[in-house]
Chains A and B, each alone.
Chain A
Amino acid sequence: MTLKDLNKKCSCFAQRIQNCTKGERCNKHHGPLSKNCQAGKVKICKLTGDRRHCARMAALGVLPGAEAELICPQTGSQCLLKIHGGTLSLDQGTSDNIIVQSV
Chain B
Amino acid sequence: MSTKPITMALAGNPNAGKTTLFNELTGARQHVGNYPGITVDHKEGYFTHNNREITITDLPGTYSLTAYSVEEVVARDFLTSQKPDVVINIVDASNLERNLYLTTQFLEMGVPLIIALNMMDVAEDRGIEVRFKKLADLLDVTVVPIVARSGQGTDELIRQAIKVADSDKKWHSRDISYGEDLDEVLMDSITIIKESSFLSEEYHARFTAIKYLEHDDQMLSKGQEENPTLARKLEQTVGVISDHLHKTMDAYPEAIIADHRYGFIKAIIRQGVMTHKFDTDRLYTSDKIDKVLTNRLIGPVLMLAILFGLYQFTFSWSELPVAWMGNLFSWLGSMVEATLPDGLVKSMIVSGVIDGVGGVLGFVPLIMFMFFGISVLEDSGYLARVAFMMDRIFHFFGLHGSSVMPFIVSGGIAGGCAVPGVMATRTLRSPKERMATLLTVPFMNCGAKVPVLVLLIGAFFSDHKALYMFLFTMLAWLVALVTAKFLRMTILRGESTPFVMELPPYRFPTLRGLLIHTWERTWQYIKKAGTVILGISILLWAMMTFPGLPQSEQDTFNTARSNITNSFPDAVQQELTSFNKDTAELSEKAAELKDKLQVIDQEESGLTLQNSIAGKIGIFFEPISRYAGFDWKTNIAMLGGIAAKEVIISTLGTVYSMGDVDADDASSLGERLINDPHWNSVVAVSALIFIMFYAPCFVTVVCIAKEASWKWAFFSMAFNTFFAFLASVAVFQIGSFLG
Name the contact of B391 in the complex, choosing from A41, A59, A60, A78 (C-beta under 8 A).
A78
Decide yes or no whether A15 CB sits under 8 A from chain B: no
Identify which of B4-12, B248-256, B417-425, B666-674 touches chain A.
B248-256
| Contact, CB under 8 Å: A88 / B251 | no
| Contact, CB under 8 Å: A86 / B502 | yes
Complex interface residues of chain A between 74 and 94 (CB less than 8 A to chain B): 74, 77-78, 80, 82, 84-94
Given contacts A60-B502, A91-B498, A91-B499, contact A86 B95 (CB under 8 A): yes
Q: How far is A91 from B391 in the complex, measured between Cα atoms in Å?
A: 8
Q: How far is A35 from B170 in the complex, measured between Cα atoms in Å?
A: 51
| Contact, CB under 8 Å: B94 / A85 | yes
| Contact, CB under 8 Å: A60 / B63 | yes
Decide yes or no whether B388 CB sits under 8 A from chain A: yes
Identify which of B189-197, B282-290, B437-445, B677-685 touches chain A.
B282-290
Tell me which residues across on chain A come within 8 A of B206, comparing CB atoms: none
Tell me which residues across on chain B come within 8 A of A90, comparing CB atoms: 498-500
Q: How far is A71 from B64 in the complex, measured between Cα atoms in Å?
A: 25
| Contact, CB under 8 Å: B252 / A72 | no
Tell me which residues across on chain B come within 8 A of A66, comparing CB atoms: 262
| Contact, CB under 8 Å: A89 / B259 | no
Q: How far is A55 from B101 in the complex, measured between Cα atoms in Å?
A: 14
Tell me which residues across on chain B come within 8 A of A91, comparing CB atoms: 391-392, 395, 401, 498-500
Given contacts A84-B97, A86-B98, A88-B503, contact A55 B290 (CB under 8 A): no
Decide yes or no whether A64 CB sits under 8 A from chain B: yes
Decide yes or no whether B214 CB sits under 8 A from chain A: yes
How many chain B residues have a CB neighbour from A under 8 Å?
A: 45
Decide yes or no whether A56 CB sits under 8 A from chain B: yes
Chain A: CB-nearest residue to B384: A89
Decide yes or no whether B501 CB sits under 8 A from chain A: yes
| Contact, CB under 8 Å: B287 / A94 | no
Decide yes or no whether A52 CB sits under 8 A from chain B: yes
Given contacts A74-B296, A93-B496, A93-B498, contact A55 B283 (CB under 8 A): no
Decide yes or no whether B215 CB sits under 8 A from chain A: yes
Given contacts A63-B255, A85-B95, contact A78 B499 (CB under 8 A): yes
Tell me which residues across on chain A come within 8 A of B384, comparing CB atoms: 89
| Contact, CB under 8 Å: B255 / A55 | yes
Q: How far is A51 from B401 in the complex, measured between Cα atoms in Å?
A: 23
Tell me which residues across on chain A come within 8 A of B392, comparing CB atoms: 77-78, 91-92
| Contact, CB under 8 Å: A55 / B68 | yes
Interface SS majority for chain A? mixed
Decide yes or no whether B281 CB sits under 8 A from chain A: yes
| Contact, CB under 8 Å: B294 / A72 | yes
Chain A: CB-nearest residue to B246: A51
Q: How far is A32 from B111 in the complex, measured between Cα atoms in Å?
A: 40
Tell me which residues across on chain B come within 8 A of A85, comparing CB atoms: 94-98
Name the contact of B66 in the complex, choosing from A41, A57, A59 (C-beta under 8 A).
A59
Q: How far is A59 from B499 in the complex, measured between Cα atoms in Å?
A: 15
| Contact, CB under 8 Å: B503 / A87 | yes
Q: How far is A63 from B565 in the complex, measured between Cα atoms in Å?
A: 90
Q: Which of A63, A69, A86, A90 has the most CB of B within 10 A?
A: A86
Q: How far is A47 from B246 in the complex, measured between Cα atoms in Å?
A: 12
Complex interface residues of chain B between 367 and 412 (CB less than 8 A to chain A): 384-385, 388, 391-392, 395, 401
| Contact, CB under 8 Å: B500 / A59 | no
Given contacts A58-B255, A59-B101, A71-B291, contact A88 B68 (CB under 8 A): no
Tell me which residues across on chain A come within 8 A of B250, comparing CB atoms: 46
Q: How far is A77 from B294 in the complex, measured between Cα atoms in Å?
A: 13
Tell me which residues across on chain B come within 8 A of A72, comparing CB atoms: 290-291, 294-296
Chain A: CB-nearest residue to B391: A91
Given contacts A51-B252, A64-B251, contact A80 B294 (CB under 8 A): yes
Q: Which of A56, A74, A82, A92 has the most CB of B within 10 A?
A: A56
CB distance from B480 to the nearest CB of A (A): 21
Chain B: CB-nearest residue to A65: B259
Given contacts A59-B64, A72-B291, A86-B98, contact A54 B252 (CB under 8 A): yes
Tell me which residues across on chain B come within 8 A of A92, comparing CB atoms: 392, 395
B-side interface residues toward A, CB under 8 Å?
A: 63-64, 66, 68-69, 94-98, 101, 214-215, 250-252, 254-255, 258-259, 262, 281, 283, 286-287, 290-291, 294-296, 384-385, 388, 391-392, 395, 401, 496, 498-503, 505
A-side interface residues toward B, CB under 8 Å?
A: 41, 46-47, 51-61, 63-66, 69, 71-72, 74, 77-78, 80, 82, 84-94
A selection of 25 A-B contacts at a CB cut-off of 8 Å is A52-B68, A55-B68, A59-B64, A59-B101, A60-B63, A61-B98, A61-B101, A63-B258, A64-B251, A69-B283, A71-B287, A72-B291, A80-B290, A80-B388, A85-B94, A85-B97, A86-B95, A87-B287, A87-B290, A89-B502, A90-B499, A90-B500, A92-B395, A93-B496, A93-B498
Beyond known contacts A51-B252, A80-B294: 7 more, CB 8 A cutoff:
A63-B259, A64-B259, A77-B392, A87-B505, A88-B503, A89-B385, A93-B496
